[in-house]
Amino acid sequence: MTTNPVPHAKFHVALLLETSREVGRGLLRGVRRYARLHGPWGLHVMPGDLIQTLPTMRAWGGTGIIARVPTDSVARAILRTGLPVIAGPLSDRQLAPSSPLSGCPEIRANGEAIGRLAAEHLMDRGLVHFAFVGGYRTTNWVERRQSAFAARLKEAGFSCAIYPKPPSSEQDWGREQKRLVRWLASQPKPLGVMAALDARGRQVIEACMEAGLSVPDEVAVIGVDNDELLCELCDPPLSSVALNAEKAGYEAAELLEAMMRGEKVPPRQILIEPTHVVARQSTEIAATDDRKIADALRFIRHEANRPLGIPDVAEHIGLSRRSLELRFRRALGHTVLTEIRRSQLERVRAFLIETDWPIGKIAQHCGFSNGNYLGKIFRKEFGETPQCFRLKQK
């Protein structure tokens, strides 16, 4: 009896990525997927003291690095290996022409698209007051999200309050919480808050609880990363912008292989793109003083999994169709049918990303008569077919 020999790994890649955050785990999944399809690769998640471990990479056959670079000392240790490196996200100082890291390809989240998507989600809830809560440190990735969030609101005629960065003496949650509580209490209500990432969103919800502010009725909160466990541990569960980190990880591995084969690769960015908002209870708000219309909004969002018409909504809230349409447009500035379509298409995009279901099955679960009709509506709204949208997420 003969057995096939176990193939030797073509490359040995060190992965210096955070496993504590969903974006880091997503990048790792993407690298693993590429390595399984194009390997075999030896993948090494680097533990312990990076500064001491990195110089030994050549001894164990290391051929490339994908890394987050938190400090200058780690940057120097990475560069001393002389191996191909994909790094990120890089600080403004690390991106400066004088920095040796500036020549490395960079992985970073598309903060501009993230901020705009979060703003649109909160505006869709009928809110008119908004705020952004960043982190303890000023970083370019937080600034990109903040600037894009505020810019999208400004386009729609709204302003955005920015939570001031805490002083160094208050940069731990135990000391800062009271400061955030006071700031949130001082803002006009109902308020839509974008937090720079999910962990910060959890803190905003905790501060609201401490301040006696109801989430989402007084403060609606959205985070970034869609770390499912962290989001579901919030009370109420936190809505979040989902990022396609796995696709970025796959692209990073593909680019690193070219570098490890000796190809000259110019500096470029690999963007982690947002895909959609995973809406949970923290933004389940109907920001209107008209209780009938607020009830209509909740009904539409909860029933978007079935064929739904304006008469269904009118019957549910006990208004005539004409009264519903007039009051709905007066309260929200768009029609009942627009809201129905928007809620249904939000579900469609989530199913396209999160399942492998055929288009016809998705249509049945999102209130459309068949896949062809869904395709026609989807293309009219987004300028591409459902199949094209799905392929772009892989």
- Rounded to whole angstroms, the Cα distance separating 252 from 35 reads 11
Q: How many residues does the chain have?
A: 394
- pLDDT (tens digit, 9 = 90+) per residue, 338-391? 889 988 998 898 899 888 899 999 999 998 989 999 999 999 988 999 998 888
- Rounded to whole angstroms, the Cα distance separating 122 from 115 reads 11
Which DSSP string do the residues of 85-132 spell out, in sequence order? EEE-SPPHHHHSTTSGGGGS-EEEE-HHHHHHHHHHHHHHTT--EEEE
Residue at 115: amino acid letter = G
- Rounded to whole angstroms, the Cα distance separating 294 from 288 reads 6
Can you give the pTM of this predicted structure?
Answer: 0.83
The CATH number that domain 11-109+245-274 falls under is: 3.40.50.2300
Give the CATH H-level superfamily of domain 291-392.
Answer: Homeodomain-like (1.10.10.60)
- Rounded to whole angstroms, the Cα distance separating 360 from 363 reads 5
- pLDDT (tens digit, 9 = 90+) per residue, 282-341? 998 876 778 888 888 888 888 888 888 999 999 998 999 999 999 988 888 889 998 899
Residue 8: the pLDDT is 56
Low-confidence ranges of the chain (pLDDT < 50): 1-6, 48-49
Residue 2: the pLDDT is 41
Domain boundaries, the chain: 11-109+245-274, 111-243+277-283, 291-392
Q: Which CATH class is domain 111-243+277-283?
A: alpha beta
| 291-392 has the same fold as 11-109+245-274 | no
Residue 92: the pLDDT is 85
Which DSSP string do the residues of 303-366 spell out, in sequence order? TTTS---HHHHHHHHT--HHHHHHHHHHHHSS-HHHHHHHHHHHHHHHHHHH----HHHHHHHT
Report whether 181 contacts 191 (CB < 8 A): no
- Rounded to whole angstroms, the Cα distance separating 106 from 20 reads 20
Residue 96: the pLDDT is 87
